Structure 1
Amino acid sequence: MGADGFMRFRDVARVTAYAGDLVSQLGPTFTFQKRDTRHPGLDCARGLAVMAMVIGHTLDAVLSPVVRADVWVQHYWTCRGITAPLFLMVAGWAVVAALGSKPTAARDTYGKRVRRALLLIFLGYLVHWPGWSTVIQMGLTERMLTKVLVFDALQCIGFALLVGATLLAVTPGRWGRTVMLAVVAVGLPLVSATLWTLGEGLPGPLTQFIGSGGASRFPFFPWASYFFAGALAASLLGTLRPGVPQGLALLILGGGLFWFMRGQNQDWGTASAWLVAYRVGQGMMVLGVVNMLPRKVSGLLAPLGRLSLWVYVLHLPIVYGWSSYAGLSSRVGPTLTLPEGLGIGVSLLVGCALVARIGTWLRDQARPWRTGSTTLEASVGSLGSRGN
C-alpha cells in the first residue's frame, strides 16, 4: 500500500470511528422502543376519540328533541361517555411510553412536557374566551373570572400532564414511578367527593378546577385519574411489544376490571370512583382492540390522531361559538334530523382535519431544521428496529 493509499485508508477509518461514536450517542435516545410511542395504535385511538367527539358535539348542538329521544341516539349517547376518558388515558400512556428505558428521560424531557402542558392550558382557556365586551360589562368580579377561566377537557389534560411530568421527574426508578402512578390513579377518584365538599365556597375558578357542585364538566378531580390510569398501564405493560402482546394484556386487564365493576353497586355520579374504574376498564379494552389491529388498518386513523389537538381546538368555536361570534348551536339550533346532523359533523371533521394538516405543513416549511431532526430520529429508529 502506497503513502496515498494509506492516508486515504486512515481518513476513512477516522470518519467511520466518528460515525460510530455519533450513532452510539444517538442510540440510547432514539431507540426502537421509544419510536414505538408513535405506533399507529395510540394515534388510531386518538383518531377514534376525536372523531366521536367532533361528531358528538355537532349532534348535541343541532339535533332536534324528537331525534334525541330515539332509542339508537340514546345508545350512541351512552357510548360517547368513553371518548373523553380515552383521550386522557392515551395522553397519559404516551407520556410514559415516550420515556423509553433511559433512567434520566423524565428529567431530560421535563421542560418539553411543561411547555406542552402550558400550551394545552392556554388553548383550553382561549377557546372559551367570552369576548372583551363581556369582560368589560362584568367588570373585575368573581363572576367574570369564572366565565373567563372555564375549566374544560384541555385544561384537565394540561394540568394532569404538568403534575404527571413533575412526579415522574422526581420519582426515582421505574418501579418507583409505577407505584407512584398507582397511588395517584387510585387515590384521585377516592378523594374527589371529599374535596368537592371542602371546595364549596371557594372562588369560582378554584371551584371549577376542583369540581365542587358540578361547576365543571371535566374537573381535575376525578378526571385526571384517567390520565394517570393510562400512564400506569403504560408503565406496567411497557416491557411488552406493541401489537398483539400489549393488546391481549390490555383486553384481559380492562375486561377484568369492567366485569368486576359491573358486579359492584353502580354509582353514575360525576365524582364517583366506581364510574372512573368502570370507564378505565372500557378504555383499556378499546386500547387493546386498537393495539391488535394490523398497522395498515390502525394507520388509516393515525393521521387524524396526530392532528387531534388542532381538530379539537378548531371545531369547538364552530360548534359552540367564540367571543361574539355565534356557532352552530345558536345559528342552527336543535332542529335537524340525524342524517343532516351526521352530514354536518362529518363535513366539520374533514374540514378541520384539512385546515390542521395545512397548518402543520406550513409550520414545517417555516422550521425546516425541525423537519430534518425528525427525519434523523426516524432513520435512526428504523435502523434500531432492524436490530431487534
Structure 2
Amino acid sequence: MRFRDVARVTAYAGDLVSQLGPSFTFQKRETRHPGLDGARGLAVLAMVVGHTLDALLAPAVRAHPWVQTYWTFRGITAPLFLLVSGWAVVAALGSRPTAARDTYGKRLRRALLLIFLGYLVHWPGWSAVRHMGWTEKMLTTVLTFDALQCIGFALLFGATLLALAPVRWGRTVVLVALAVALPLVSSTMWSLGEGLPGPLRQFIGSGGTSRFPFFPWASYFFAGALAAHLLNVLRPGWTQGLALVVLGGGLIWVMRGQEADWGPSSAWLVAYRVGQGLLVLGIVNLLPQRVSGTLAPLGRLSLWIYVLHLPIVYGWASYSGLSSRVGPTLGLLPALSIGVGLLLGCALVARIGSWIRDQARPWRTGSTTLQASVGSLGSRGG
C-alpha cells in the first residue's frame, strides 16, 4: 500500500468516526464459517418444507413408501440445527483465551432472546389462558418447551460455564462433560422428573411431554460446540470438511456396530444423529462455494424464518394456521409448492427486517465499508 493510500484511509477513518460517534470501534467483524450458513440453510429448508408437508399432505400420500423414506431422513433436521448452533457459538469465540468471558453479555442476551421467542410462538392467547385459569395445565401450555428454548437454555448454561471455567483447559473439559454426560443421564433424569410441575417435566422430558426436552436434545448443541473447539486448528473448508466427514462417518460406523436403541432418551440415538450431522456439515464444507452459497442466505436468516413460519403453519393464539384451515388434504405437488413459497416469503420478510435493523445501526455497515475500502486500496498498492 502506497503512502498516499494510507493517508486516504486514515482521513476516511477519521471522517467515519466523527460521523458514527465515540461508541464506534475498529474491531474486525467475525468471519463466518464457509460451511456453517450452508448447513444451517439446508436445515431450515428441510424444516419449513417438512413442517408444511406434515400439516398438509393427505394420508394416502403420506403412506407412499418413498414419502416414508423422506420422513426417515427428516429425522436429522432438528439435530443438525442444534449441532450447527453449538458449532457457531464456539467458533465465534476463536482462540482468544478470555473470549468466553469478554462476550458473555452478548451470549446471555442472545440466549434470553431465543427463550423468549420460543415461548412467544407457542402463546395460546388470552382467551385460552382465562379459560384454563391458574392451573398446571395453563402453565404447561403457556410454557411449552420446544427447540428454540432448548437452544436458548443450552447457550445460557454453556456460556456461563465457559466463562467461569479455567482459561487453559476449562473449555475442553466443560464441552466434553456436557456433550457426553447429557445423553448418558437423560433416562435417569426423565425418571427423576416424574411428579414435578408440568413446565419442569417439559424441560426435563419426563413422560414425553416435549418434543425437544433439554435432556437429551441439548447434547446436539454441545456436541457441535465440542467439534468446533477440537477442529478449530484446521482451516475451514476442505480441511475441516474432510475431518468432519471422517469423524461423522466413523461415529456412524461405531454406532452401527452397537445394539440400536431408537428410544427418545437413548444415548445411542444421540451419538448416531451426531454422526449424521457431522457428516452433513462436512459434505457442505466440501461443496463448491457457489453451491453452498445458495443456501447460505437462508442460514443467516434461520432464526427469523423459524419464528415466522411456525404461526403460519400451526397457528398462533386464536388464529388458525394452515394445519387447521387446509388440513391434511393436499397432494404432494400443491403441498410442496406451498412449502417452498412459505420459505421464500418468510426469507423475504426476514431480509427486509434485517435491512431495516442495519439502517437503524449504521455503525455496523460503516465498519464493513471501511474494511472494503482498505482492501481495495491495498490491492491497488500492490
Q: TM-score, normalised by structure 1?
A: 0.89
Name stretches of at least 5 consecutive residues in structure 1 with no aligned partner.
1-8
Identify which of 162, 165, 181 aligns with 1:168.
162
Q: For 2:285, what is the secondary structure of its paired residue?
A: helix
Whether the 8 Å CA contact 2:34–2:236 is kept in 1: the answer is no
After superposition, the CA RMSD in angstroms is 2.3
Matches within 5 A, 1:60-71: 60-71=54-65
Q: State how far apart, in whole Å, the 1-side matches of 2:224 and 2:162 are.
A: 14
Q: State how far apart, in whole Å, the 2-side matches of 1:149 and 1:379 are.
A: 48
Whether the 8 Å CA contact 1:30–1:381 is kept in 2: the answer is no
Q: State how far apart, in whole Å, the 2-side matches of 1:252 and 1:286 are.
A: 11
Q: For 1:98, what is the secondary structure of its paired residue?
A: helix
Q: State how far apart, in whole Å, the 2-side matches of 1:81 and 1:272 are.
A: 14
Rate the CA distance shift 1:201–1:251 in 2: closer, same or farther, 3 A.
same
Matches within 5 A, 1:185-264: 185-264=179-258
Q: State how far apart, in whole Å, the 2-side matches of 1:264 and 1:378 are.
A: 52
1:286 and 2:280 matched? yes
Equivalent position amino acid for 2:255 in 1: M
- 2:297 corresponds to which residue? 303
Rate the CA distance shift 1:106–1:378 in 2: closer, same or farther, 3 A.
farther
Matches within 5 A, 1:32-51: 34-35=30-31, 38-51=32-45
Q: How far is the alpha carbon of 1:374 from its aligned partner? A: 4.7
Q: How far is the alpha carbon of 1:172 from its aligned partner? A: 2.1
Matches within 5 A, 1:279-358: 279-358=273-352
Q: How far is the alpha carbon of 1:262 from its aligned partner? A: 0.9
Q: State how far apart, in whole Å, the 2-side matches of 1:380 and 1:290 are.
A: 31
Q: How far is the alpha carbon of 1:174 from its aligned partner? A: 4.9
Q: How far is the alpha carbon of 1:305 from its aligned partner? A: 0.5
Rate the CA distance shift 1:57–1:142 in 2: closer, same or farther, 3 A.
same
- 1:93 corresponds to which residue? 87
What whole-Å deviation, never above 9, does each CA across 1:287-334 have from its counterpart, x for those lacking one? 100111222221111111000100000000000000000000000111
Equivalent position amino acid for 2:337 in 1: G
What whole-Å deviation, never above 9, does each CA across 1:50-71 have from its counterpart, x for those lacking one? 0000000000000011111111
1:118 and 2:116 matched? no
1:103 and 2:101 matched? no
Name stretches of at least 5 consecutive residues in structure 2 with no aligned partner.
18-24
Q: State how far apart, in whole Å, the 1-side matches of 2:95 and 2:160 are.
A: 18
Q: For 2:320, what is the secondary structure of its paired residue?
A: coil
Q: How far is the alpha carbon of 1:383 from its aligned partner? A: 10
Whether the 8 Å CA contact 2:175–2:225 is kept in 1: the answer is yes
Rate the CA distance shift 1:150–1:374 in 2: closer, same or farther, 3 A.
farther
Q: State how far apart, in whole Å, the 2-side matches of 1:166 and 1:383 are.
A: 42
- 1:72 corresponds to which residue? 66
Equivalent position amino acid for 1:30 in 2: K
Q: For 2:35, what is the secondary structure of its paired residue?
A: helix
4+ residue runs over 6 A deviation: 377-384
- 2:28 corresponds to which residue? 30
1:365 and 2:359 matched? yes
Q: For 1:40, what is the secondary structure of its paired residue?
A: coil
Q: State how far apart, in whole Å, the 2-side matches of 1:167 and 1:95 are.
A: 13
Whether the 8 Å CA contact 2:59–2:328 is kept in 1: the answer is yes
- 1:128 corresponds to which residue? 122
